[in-house]
Amino acid sequence: TTKYIRHFWNSQNSFIREKDLYKVIRKKITTPLEANNFMKDLLKLSEVYSGMVNPAEDNFFDANIQKVLADINILGAKSFYPIILAMVKKGYDFKEIYEVLSCIEVLVVRNFVVSGLVANKYEIEFSKIAFRIYQEDIEDFTEIMSLLRKNIVADNDFLHNFSSFEIKNKP
């Protein structure tokens, strides 16, 4: 689907909005070889994407990662997918992916759930991190976590927001 193709694209290229996705792909992929390589990569990472979208039915990730993904999915977060796609593409191991996902879970809870920040800004930030992973411009997973932590709401702000936080039930 378009959502997967966009997350895939944003894991390896500069951030693109859905409305511009196919126009940009058409401009960038111009030869049969490029199209073939694009399709091979798309197919290869589709199992990873499926594991993120449906962690309960996942056969790619281990149980620890499936649990964190299930928790993040409950919170409705999806904008981090390009980071995990880039990490898998570049050969990061499950322990490193688990650590990064745990950091993302903290960010989602503190920033989106408790502090009410809008995910749009972070979608761009996550895409930038994913692109740096893909470009091998990041030393290791600890640098990924450091970049993520820079985006997490500060402790004082979080405590203030948490003190007035109300759980809203979905109808």
The domains of the chain are located at: 2-163
For the chain, first and last CA: distance in Å?
28
pLDDT, residue 78, reads 94
Cα dihedral sign for 114, 118, 123, 129? negative
Each residue of 44-103: pLDDT tens digit? 999 999 999 999 897 899 999 999 999 999 999 999 999 999 999 999 999 999 999 999
Confidence tier at 27 by pLDDT (50, 70, 90): very high
Q: How far apart are CA 74 and CA 60, in angstroms?
A: 20
Q: Is 76 left (phi over 0), alpha (psi -120 to 50) or beta?
A: left
Range 17-38 average pLDDT: 96
Q: What is the pLDDT of residue 170?
A: 61
How do residues 125-142 score in pLDDT, each as one tens digit?
999 999 999 999 998 999
pLDDT for residue 114: 92
